[in-house]
C-alpha cells in the first residue's frame, strides 16, 4: 500500500550538518560476515531499514543468535564459525533486498540443508542468472522455481569444490561480491575471473576490504581477477563500525551545490570504503566547492552549476542524483555507462527519463545513458517513485525550484533512510 504523497514548497536555501544512517551495502555484508565468523561481533551504526530487517530475519531463521546493544544501532551477532547447517527446509523472504538475495544465494549453496529464497514481485524481475550459472561451475545445486534466471530459488546446499569461476562482470557487482564472500569457506583454492567491462568496481573493492576486516585473505590480481585460498573461514574483528551511506550523502551534498549550503555530511569522507564518496568530485566538476575530511564531506555553492558529460559506471546509485541536479545546471548533462540502472529496484533509466520530462526537461534515454537538457523554467511535477527509495530522494531536490514538487509514496525511503524527508526539511532555509 502506498503512503500519502508529500509536497515540498519552494525553499531558497539549505544549511547544516547531517549524520548519515549506515550504508545498506556495508550493513548487509557485515551482518552476513559476522554470522559466518568465529566469535561474536558488535556491529555499530547499523542501518535500521527494510533491507537490513530482511537480512536479520533471514539470519535468525538460520539459527544465528543476535541481540540489540545499548543503542538501537548496535547489534551483537554471535557467529556460527562457518557455513550454515539445518536439518529442515528453510524458506527465507527477502523482500526486494538484492544485498540479501545475492550473497545468501551464494553462501547457502555451500551450506548444509535445503533453502527456498523468495521475495516481493519486483525481486522476481531482477535477474540473478549470471551469478547462479557461475556458481554451477563449482558444483552449486540451485533451481529456479519460476522463470529461468530469476528468483524465487530452491537451493540444496552441498560441498562446493572451488576452482576457476568465470563471470560476466558487466552486469552487477553484487554477483561478484556474493561469489567472493563464499570462496574462503570452500576447501579448495578458487580463482574468480571477470569478463566484459566491470561495472561498479568500487563495490567489489568494498567487499574485499570487508572480507579482510573479518580475517579472510583475498589476492586482487586485477579488477578482473581475484584469488582466494580455501579453508580459511572468517574471524570476528570484535567491533565493526558501519560507515554512513555515501549514496544517501549525495542528496544533501547536491542540495548544497544547488542552493548555497554549506552542508556537512558525517559518516563518509576521504577514508570511506565506498566508491560513492566520489560523487562530490562530480559536483566539483559542475562548479561546487567541496572539502573532504576523513569521515565527513562539506559542499557549498560555487559558481553557477554547469552540465557535462560524465561516465558514472563506478557510482550508479549516486549518479541518479546528478540527473536531478542537472535540472539546475547550465547546458546539457549526459550520464553514461549506467546500463545496470535497469537492473535495480526498478528500471531506473526509464523511470528517470519519464519523471524528468514532467519538469519540462528535454530527455533522451539510451540503452545505457541519459541526456538531460534543463528547461528555462522547471515545472511542478507529481513524481512517481516506483517503490524505489532513490527515485523519491533524488527528486526532493526540486524543492529548490519555485514551482516545488509533489512526491508520491515517500515512505518507500524506509528501504535505506526511513526519516529522510524529515531530515531534509529540517535543513531547508
152 preceded by a cis bond (ω within 30 of 0): yes
Q: What are phi and psi of 373, to 5 degrees?
A: -110, 115
Judge whether 277 is annotated as a binding position: no
Judge whether 227 is annotated as a binding position: no
Chain centroid to CA 312: 15
Judge whether 235 is annotated as a binding position: no
Residue 405 and residue 200: Cα distance in Å, rounded? Answer: 31
Contact (CB, 8 A) for 398 and 359? yes
Residues in the chain: 429
* Strands 90-93 and 114-118, sheet pairing: parallel
Judge whether 275 is annotated as a binding position: no
Other beta carbons within 10 angstroms of residue 89's beta carbon come to 11
141 has catalytic annotation: no
Q: Which of 50, 51, 317, 387 is catalytic?
A: 317
Judge whether 390 is annotated as a binding position: yes
Judge whether 96 is annotated as a binding position: no
Compute the C-alpha angle 51/244/261, nearest 5°: 120
Judge whether 126 is annotated as a binding position: yes
Judge whether 342 is annotated as a binding position: no
Judge whether 9 is annotated as a binding position: no
Judge whether 317 is annotated as a binding position: yes
Judge whether 56 is annotated as a binding position: no
Question: Sheet of 190-195: strands edge to edge?
Answer: 163-168, 190-195, 225-228, 218-222
Chain centroid to CA 290: 23
Signed CA dihedral, 263, 265, 266, 271: sign only: negative
- Nearest Cα to Cα of residue 394 among 346, 343, 429: 346
Chain centroid to CA 110: 24
Other beta carbons within 10 angstroms of residue 233's beta carbon come to 16
Contact (CB, 8 A) for 275 and 312? no
Q: Which helix (H) or strand (E) holds 249?
A: helix 246-259
Judge whether 404 is annotated as a binding position: no
Contact (CB, 8 A) for 2 and 226? no
Active site residues: 317
- Residue numbers in the known binding site for phosphoenolpyruvate are 24, 98, 126, 174, 348, 390, 415
- Residue numbers in the known binding site for 3-phosphoshikimate are 24-25, 29, 172-174, 200, 317, 340, 344
- Residue numbers in the known binding site are 24-25, 29, 98, 126, 172-174, 200, 317, 340, 344, 348, 390, 415
Amino acid at each position: 500500500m502506498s503512503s500519502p504523497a508529500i509536497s515540498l514548497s519552494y525553499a531558497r536555501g539549505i544549511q547544516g550538518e547531517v549524520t548519515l544512517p549506515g550504508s545498506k551495502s556495508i550493513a548487509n555484508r557485515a551482518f552476513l560476515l559476522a554470522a559466518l565468523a568465529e566469535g561474536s561481533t558488535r556491529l555499530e551504526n547499523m542501518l535500521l531499514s527494510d533491507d537490513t530487517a530482511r537480512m536479520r530475519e533471514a539470519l535468525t531463521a538460520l539459527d544465528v543468535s543476535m541481540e540489540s546493544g545499548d543503542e538501537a544501532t548496535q547489534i551483537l551477532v554471535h557467529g556460527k564459525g562457518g557455513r550454515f547447517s539445518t536439518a529442515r527446509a528453510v524458506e527465507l523472504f527477502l523482500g526486494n533486498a538484492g544485498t540479501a538475495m545475492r550473497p545468501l544465494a551464494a553462501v547457502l549453496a555451500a551450506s548444509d540443508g535445503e533453502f527456498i529464497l523468495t521475495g516481493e514481485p519486483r525481486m522476481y524481475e531482477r535477474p540473478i542468472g549470471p551469478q547462479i550459472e557461475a556458481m554451477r561451475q563449482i558444483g552449486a545445486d540451485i533451481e529456479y522455481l519460476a522463470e529461468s534466471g530469476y528468483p524465487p530459488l530452491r537451493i540444496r546446499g552441498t560441498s562446493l569444490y572451488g576452482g576457476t569461476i568465470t563471470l560476466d562482470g558487466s552486469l552487477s557487482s553484487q554477483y561478484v561480491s556474493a561469489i567472493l564472500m563464499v570462496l574462503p569457506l570452500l576447501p579448495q583454492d578458487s580463482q574468480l575471473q571477470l569478463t566484459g567491462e566491470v561495472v561498479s568496481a568500487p563495490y567489489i573493492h568494498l567487499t574485499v576490504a570487508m572480507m579482510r576486516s573479518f580475517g579472510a585473505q583475498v589476492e586482487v590480481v586485477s579488477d578482473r581477477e581475484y584469488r582466494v585460498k580455501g579453508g580459511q573461514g572468517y574471524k570476528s574483528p570484535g567491533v565493526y563500525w558501519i560507515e554512513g551511506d555515501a549514496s544517501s550523502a549525495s542528496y544533501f551534498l547536491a542540495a548544497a551545490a544547488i542552493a548555497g549550503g554549506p552542508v556537512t555530511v558525517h559518516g563518509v569522507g576521504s577514508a570511506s570504503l565506498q566508491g560513492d564518496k566520489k560523487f562530490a568530485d562530480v559536483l566539483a566538476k559542475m562548479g561546487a566547492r567541496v572539502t573532504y575530511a576523513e569521515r565527513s564531506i562539506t559542499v557549498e555553492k560555487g559558481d553557477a552549476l554547469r552540465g557535462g558529460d560524465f561516465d558514472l559506471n563506478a557510482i550508479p546509485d549516486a549518479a541518479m542524483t546528478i540527473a536531478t541536479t542537472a535540472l539546475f545546471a547550465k547546458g546539457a548533462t549526459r550520464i553514461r555507462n549506467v546500463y545496470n540502472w535497469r537492473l535495480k529496484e526498478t528500471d531506473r533509466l526509464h523511470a528517470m527519463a519519464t519523471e524528468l520530462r514532467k519538469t519540462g526537461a528535454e530527455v533522451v534515454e539510451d540503452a545505457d545513458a541519459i541526456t538531460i537538457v534543463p528547461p528555462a523554467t522547471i515545472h511542478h511535477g507529481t513524481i512517481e517513485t516506483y517503490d524505489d527509495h532513490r527515485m523519491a530522494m533524488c527528486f526532493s531536490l526540486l524543492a529548490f525550484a519555485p514551482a516545488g514538487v509533489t512526491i508520491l509514496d515517500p515512505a518507500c525511503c524506509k528501504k535505506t533512510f526511513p526519516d529522510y524527508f524529515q531530515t531534509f526539511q529540517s535543513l531547508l532555509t
